[in-house]
Amino acid sequence: MAAPWLATVTPFTLTSPAQFRATPPPALTSNRYTTDYNEVQAVGSHDSSTRTAAQTDLAYFWSENFATQWNRALRALAAARIDNIGDSARFFALANLSAADAIITAWDTKKHYFFWRPLTAIREDDGNPNTVRDTNWQPLINNPNYPDYTSGANNVTGAFTRSIALFFHSDHVTFTVTTTSPLATTTSRTYTHCSDAAQDVVNARVYLGIHFRFADTVARKQGRNVAKWAFHHYLRPIGDDDDGDDEGGDNDD
């Protein structure tokens, strides 16, 4: 496992790495596991016949380093909408403190459960009569060398998108994300809602074949909760009693 120490790093804002630890992943014979297994086996395969060209392009778009990718988006957003250096500093600090604690949260959960990725699950016998083993199955990209549950990319994205929504008091924020992924045809995507970008990352990690959907959606919730905690407990604006709860529908589910 890459960077196992990350699970025990002292967080910047949280009370412990386990503060937002996820509940256990679904049982291998559950309907949720079966549904998500069959989905990633079909659309996440390297040679998938069901994944569309647009889905493949979305997957490659979101296969870059997420901290780098999101900070590029934050710089452009700050330049367009924030004209005070103090506010800008607070915006970047809150977003990056949240993202850092979100990745610590992800690693705490990964190390606690050690849940297998689709590659291992599909190639091995999971004891589920409703899944079909395929010993030759390959994901669209190589597996990262750490467990599936929960997704670090979605923890980080959940933290960044929730930070944007909290700072601007709305899920309805227009911003552009770019990628340097050499396989992506589309290199720039403009979003009008934070939650739309977060949903794209959930989908992208499934299309890449490296995560079950439940690992993505739970991670998104973790990242959002981390950002909300940081926003309400740290770097509060002077003389402002606004609690920042107006996120325009970007909920924790």
Residue 182 lies in a domain: yes
Q: What is the mean pLDDT of residues 93-118?
A: 98
| Residues forming a β-bridge with 176 | 190
pLDDT value at residue 245: 52
What SS3 state is found at 189?
strand
Name the pTM for this structure: 0.94
Q: In the beta sheet, which residues pair with residue 123?
A: none
DSSP state of 139: B
Counting beta carbons within 10 angstroms of the beta carbon of residue 90, is it exposed (0 to 12), middle (13 to 18) or buried (19 or more)?
middle
Q: How confident is the model at residue 237 (pLDDT cuts 50, 70, 90)?
A: confident
Residue 212 lies in a domain: yes
Q: What is the pLDDT of residue 65?
A: 95
Residue 206 pLDDT > 50 = yes
Is 221 a member of any domain? yes
Give backbone dihedrals phi and psi of 45, rounded to 5 degrees, phi first.
-65, 145
In a domain? residue 34 = no
Residue 240 predicted with pLDDT over 80 = no
Whether 168 is in a domain gets the answer: yes
Q: What is the 3-state secondary structure (H, E, C) of 31-61?
A: HHHHHHHHHHHHHCECCCCCCCHHHHHHHHH
**Considering its fold, how many domains does the chain have in total?**
1
For the stretch 191-202, pLDDT in tens is 999 999 999 999
- The domain that contains 135 carries what CATH number? 1.10.606.20
Residue 85 lies in a domain: yes
